[in-house]
Structure 1
C-alpha cells in the first residue's frame, strides 16, 4: 500500500545534487581542459573562487551543447534522440539543478552549485537553452537582428552569467552590457571560423538578407563561385565582432585586476580567431583556423600589460543594437517551447 501523503516528508534541497563541491570542480576542470583549451588558459588567470565558478558554469554549457549536437566535448559522437527529446532533457535537468535536486549528471549538478553561489536565475539559463533549441529546430537567421538574437542566446547570455560569476551587481546594466558584448564578439568570431563546418551540417548563421544582397543563392555560399562575396560578408562579420570587443575591453576596466586580465586575455585569443579568418581571405576555410600555444601565451602576456594600462576613452558610440534592444527582440520572438519548472516534492509525493 502507498503511504498516506500526510506522513511523507519533502525531499530536501541538495545543492550540487548532493555531490561534494570539490568533486564537481574537479570534473568541471576536466571538461574545460578537454573542450576548450582557450577558455582553460584564460580561466587560470582568475582568482581561485572565480576560476572554479567559471569552470562549473562552463561544464554545464559544454554538456548542454554536447547533448544538443550529439557530441562529446565538441567532437563528433553520434546522433542521439530526436531534437525535441534532447532539448526537453536539457530543460528538465537544468530545472532540477536550479531547484536543488540531484540530476545524475555532474555538469548539471555543477550548474546548480554555481547558480546558488553566483545568483544565476532560471531566466538566464532559459535564454542560453533557447540557442540550442533554435539549432535543433533547424532555424536560420533572416535578418541581422535575427543574427544578434541567436548570438545573444548562445554567447551573450553566457557573458552575462560570467559577469555574475565575477561578482558584477545584477543591477549594473552598464557592465552587464559590456559582458554581453564580449560574448557576442566571441560568437561572431566562431561563426566566421566555422562557416564550412556549419554548411556541412546543413547550418548557416549568415543572415538570409545578407546572402540575398550578395547574390548568393540559399545553401550555396560555400561554392567556389561565390567565394569573393563570402569573403566580403565574413569581413563584415569580423568588423561587427571587433566593435563588440572594443566595448567589452573598456568595460573590463571596472573589474578587479585579475578578472580584467583574464577577460582581456580571452578577448585577445578569440579576437585573433576572427582576424586570422579575415586575413586568410578566400583560403580561410581550407583548414580550420587555430591559435597555437605560443600565440596564446603572447596574447595572455599582452593582456597583462593591457590590464595594467588605463582603458582610455570609451567608444564614441556603443555598438548597436544594444543589449536591451536585443532582449526586446528575444522576448517578442518568444521561446520555441517554455522551460518546465517542476515544483519541489511536497506532501503529495509518493
Structure 2
C-alpha cells in the first residue's frame, strides 16, 4: 500500500520514497486513531499526512525518552539536539529540498502544499518547553504550549486536506480541533505524564477543586480517584467538549473527499472522553481507549462516504487529477 500511495502522489525519487515510508511507519506505530482516519484520504494525499505526523512523533520521542523530573544535563543535550533539528529543517525548507532521511519528506510536503515554515518553528518551540516545564499555572500558559504542540499540526494538515472556503476561515476550527485532541490526550494520559514529571492541566483550574500535584500522585500510586479529582476532571472534560463544538463546523469547510477522514478522528477522539466519563473519571486504573470494533464501525460508513465523494470529484473534474500546489516532479 505504501508503494501505491507514493505512486499516486507521484513521488519517484528513491530517497524521497524511503523518507515517506519511514514517516508512515512512525505514524502507524504511534497514532492508531489518526492513522486509521488517514486511510480515508485519497491515496495521493496520505503520504503528506504521514510526513507531518511522523515528524511530530519522531521529535516527541526525542523529548520523552526518559521518565522522571527533567535532569538539567539531559535536558541540555536534548535542547542541543532540537536546535540541530531546527537548523537542518530550516535549511531544507529554505532550499526546498533535504537529504535527511526523515526531513526529506517533510520538506517536500511543506513545499508542495505551501505550508507556513513558522508552524514548524512553533512546534519545535513547544517541544523545547517539555525539557524544562513541568507545570502550567494557567490556561493561557498551557495554551502557549498547545499552540505549538497541537494547533499548528492542524494548520499544517489543512492545505493537504483542502477547503471549499478560504483557509483563513477554516484555520480557527482546525486549530481548535488540534487543541481538543491534545486536551483529550492530557486528560487520558495524566498517569503517564506524572511518570514523566509533568502535569498538562492548568494548576489554578485544578486548585479550584482542591487538587494539586500531591493529590494526583496519590491517585497514581493507588490507581484510585477521589471526589475532588473526579470533579476537576469533569471540568476538564467539559472544556474539551466545548473545543470540539467550536471545531465541528470546520469539517464542512473541508474538501468533501477529506471530510470523512476528519469526521472519523473527531468522533473517535470525542468518544475517548465518553469512556473516561463512564469510568467515573478514573484515568489512573487503566488507559481509556476506543475498542477496535468501534473504530471499525465508525470508519466503515466513513469509507462509503469517502468513495462517494471521490466519485463525485472525479466526475466534476472530468477525470483530471486534483489540483496540486506544485508540479509533481518538484
Question: Normalization by structure 2: what TM-score?
Answer: 0.78
Unaligned 5+ segments in structure 1 are: 1-15, 72-78, 309-350
Residue 23 in structure 1 maps to residue 18 in structure 2: yes
Correspondence 1:76-115 to 2 at 5 A: 82-100=77-95, 105-115=100-110
Instruction: Give, in angstroms, the shift of residue 278 of structure 1.
Output: 2.2
Unaligned 5+ segments in structure 2 are: 1-10, 67-73, 308-330
Partner of 1:293: 292
Residues 161 and 102 of structure 1: CA distance in aligned 2, closer, same or farther (over 3 Å): closer
Instruction: Give, in angstroms, the shift of residue 67 of structure 1.
Output: 1.6
Q: Deviations over 1:106-148 (max 9, x none)?
A: 2222111111011112211111112111111224211112222
Aligned-residue CA RMSD in angstroms?
Answer: 2.7
Contact residue 268 and residue 303 of structure 1 kept, 8 A: no
Residue 65 in structure 1 maps to residue 60 in structure 2: yes
Contact residue 19 and residue 103 of structure 2 kept, 8 A: no
* Alpha-carbon distance in 2 for matches of 1:82, 1:171: 42
Residues 220 and 83 of structure 1: CA distance in aligned 2, closer, same or farther (over 3 Å): farther
- Partner of 2:279, secondary structure, is helix
Return the match for 2:170 from 175, 196, 200. Answer: 175
Residue 34 in structure 1 maps to residue 29 in structure 2: yes
Residues 254 and 237 of structure 1: CA distance in aligned 2, closer, same or farther (over 3 Å): same
Contact residue 159 and residue 167 of structure 2 kept, 8 A: no
* Alpha-carbon distance in 1 for matches of 2:14, 2:230: 49
- Partner of 2:102, secondary structure, is helix
Residue 124 in structure 1 maps to residue 135 in structure 2: no
Q: Deviations over 1:18-74 (max 9, x none)?
A: 854333322222221212121111001001222121111112111111122238xxx
Contact residue 231 and residue 278 of structure 1 kept, 8 A: no
Residues 83 and 116 of structure 1: CA distance in aligned 2, closer, same or farther (over 3 Å): same
Instruction: Give, in angstroms, the shift of residue 154 of structure 1.
Output: 0.8
Partner of 2:251: 252
- Partner of 1:272, secondary structure, is helix
Q: Deviations over 1:306-337 (max 9, x none)?
A: 989xxxxxxxxxxxxxxxxxxxxxxxxxxxxx
Contact residue 16 and residue 104 of structure 2 kept, 8 A: no
* Alpha-carbon distance in 1 for matches of 2:281, 2:288: 13
Give aligned pairs, total: 285
* Alpha-carbon distance in 2 for matches of 1:297, 1:139: 36
- Partner of 1:258, secondary structure, is coil
* Alpha-carbon distance in 2 for matches of 1:209, 1:21: 47
- More deviation in 185-194 or 164-173? 164-173
Residues 106 and 174 of structure 1: CA distance in aligned 2, closer, same or farther (over 3 Å): same
Contact residue 168 and residue 176 of structure 1 kept, 8 A: no
Residues 85 and 103 of structure 1: CA distance in aligned 2, closer, same or farther (over 3 Å): farther
Partner of 1:8: none
Return the match for 1:144 from 139, 144, 153. Answer: 139
Partner of 2:269: 270
Contact residue 27 and residue 50 of structure 2 kept, 8 A: yes
Q: Deviations over 1:201-258 (max 9, x none)?
A: 1100111111322222344323249732222222222222222222222111122222
* Alpha-carbon distance in 2 for matches of 1:155, 1:277: 21
